[in-house]
Amino acid sequence: MVDLKSQYQKIKPEVDKAILNVIEAAQFINGPEVKAFQKDLEEYLDVKYVIPCANGTDALQIALMAAGLKPGDEVITPSFTYVATTEVIALLGLTPVFVDVDKDTFCLDTDQVKALITSKTKAIVPVHLYGQSANMEAVMEIANEYNLTVIEDNAQAIGSDYHFPDGNKKTGTIGHIGCTSFFPSKNLGCYGDGGAMFTNDEVLAGKMRMIANHGQSKKYYHDVVGCNSRLDSIQAAVLKIKLKELDNYIEARRAVASHYDNFFDKFEGVKTPVRANNSRHVFHQYTLTLEGIDRDGLNAFLAEKNIPSMIYYPVPAHRQKMFSAFNSKESNLPITDWLCERVLSLPIHTEMTKEQLDFICSGVAEFLSTKQ
């Protein structure tokens, strides 16, 4: 699905040198690389505070903790997402309230949010799934009206823009807090685990920094219960180099997506990703929706030809055993259920060649013309 080896080859001299520098300086934790990367990312995102942490799941957890939510508070979030988003909500004793998604953008259906709001609702966690922004204008309008905290799960969309009538903003900087992951296969990935929170709010920034460091206000004085979540210096050194390439990486992904679009548009029953006009898609995934086509058959057929394809996600959160205590199966999320049976993601990365694309496209075409 990704080709991190070829990507590394192109930046190898710079990366190798940066990693060696960290090893020689032996400041593996909180080295100057962490601060330097943090500054660069703040500038890239045009956000006041970036707080690095250990991974994207921690970022979401720390954000929810900083928002001051109490056990029993309700958090509205899509069920059609990676498990991390919903898991941390439950882990903190909060109640996930699942909202259905929009068939075209795969992101939460903002028209359905208001009906789910109760006196216990405290936050909304929109997920910019596959690299395209949720309808943040609508999310922020609802949040302002009901005084809710918005925590954006930006793990799949770093670098994406949302177009407001008065200008663009980077996803992850629109809500009160944005969270991201630097997992190797993400659009901005390191060579291990990593994550970060973003905010323009000084108070929230201070709280998140403190929570990520054992709730410590000064050395050995701990004001709140926190956790231990930090980005190590080697990962920060790698990220600083890769951040300079992020816009090129995004363009490369968008070019792959256009190639697929052109090829698949002619096939009946194959719906290519819809590009919403209020955001710039950064194509973390290229996901087809297959109607009247044996999706699992195609998945298996491609695997036989050594063409990877993935189902993100076969089981939505509300049908996971982990949430059975919330009676979440009773949630009425027809679009989420429908999509889980029909989506298929094809390989997409920064180093794809025309030959690879042609091979993948012809594999899918062969299935569509002979096996259906």
Ligand X SMILES: *Cc1c(COP(=O)(O)O)cnc(C)c1O
Q: How many CA atoms lie within 13 A of 332 on its CB side?
A: 3
* Nearer to ligand X (CB atom), residue 34 or residue 293: 34
122's CB contacts (< 8 A; 6+ apart) are 67, 69, 73, 74, 75, 94, 148, 149
3-state secondary structure of 191: coil
Q: Which residues pair with 152 in a beta bridge?
A: 178
* Nearer to ligand X (CB atom), residue 284 or residue 342: 284
Contact 246, 158 (CB under 8 A): yes
In whole angstroms, the minimum distance from the beta carbon of 177 to ligand X comes to 14
356's CB contacts (< 8 A; 6+ apart) are 347
Contact 139, 146 (CB under 8 A): no
In whole angstroms, the minimum distance from the beta carbon of 182 to ligand X comes to 7
Helices (H) and strands (E) in the chain, counts: 10, 14
In whole angstroms, the minimum distance from the beta carbon of 80 to ligand X comes to 10
Q: What does DSSP assign to residue 100?
A: -
21's CB contacts (< 8 A; 6+ apart) are 237
Residue nearest to ligand X (CB): 56
Q: d(Cα 88, Cα 202) in Å, to the nearest integer?
A: 23
In whole angstroms, the minimum distance from the beta carbon of 370 to ligand X comes to 34
* Nearer to ligand X (CB atom), residue 195 or residue 273: 195
* Nearer to ligand X (CB atom), residue 178 or residue 195: 195
* Nearer to ligand X (CB atom), residue 33 or residue 58: 58
* Nearer to ligand X (CB atom), residue 31 or residue 56: 56
* Nearer to ligand X (CB atom), residue 232 or residue 298: 232
29's CB contacts (< 8 A; 6+ apart) are 230, 232, 233
* Nearer to ligand X (CB atom), residue 193 or residue 232: 193
In whole angstroms, the minimum distance from the beta carbon of 186 to ligand X comes to 6
Q: Which residues pair with 127 in a beta bridge?
A: 153
**Which of 287, 316, 276 shows the shortest CA–CA distance to 81?**
316
In whole angstroms, the minimum distance from the beta carbon of 325 to ligand X comes to 22
3-state secondary structure of 154: coil
Chain residues binding ligand X by CB under 6 A are 55-57, 81-82, 84-85, 127, 153, 155-156, 181, 183, 193, 195
In whole angstroms, the minimum distance from the beta carbon of 359 to ligand X comes to 27
Q: What does DSSP assign to residue 330?
A: G
In whole angstroms, the minimum distance from the beta carbon of 273 to ligand X comes to 16
User: Which run of H or E residues covers position 99?
Assistant: strand 95-99
Q: Which residues pair with 222 in a beta bridge?
A: 216
User: Which run of H or E residues covers position 179?
Assistant: strand 177-181
* Nearer to ligand X (CB atom), residue 127 or residue 134: 127
* Matching residue, tokens 């991190």: 4
* Nearer to ligand X (CB atom), residue 195 or residue 226: 195
In whole angstroms, the minimum distance from the beta carbon of 284 to ligand X comes to 7
In whole angstroms, the minimum distance from the beta carbon of 50 to ligand X comes to 15
Q: d(Cα 213, Cα 38) in Å, to the nearest integer?
A: 16
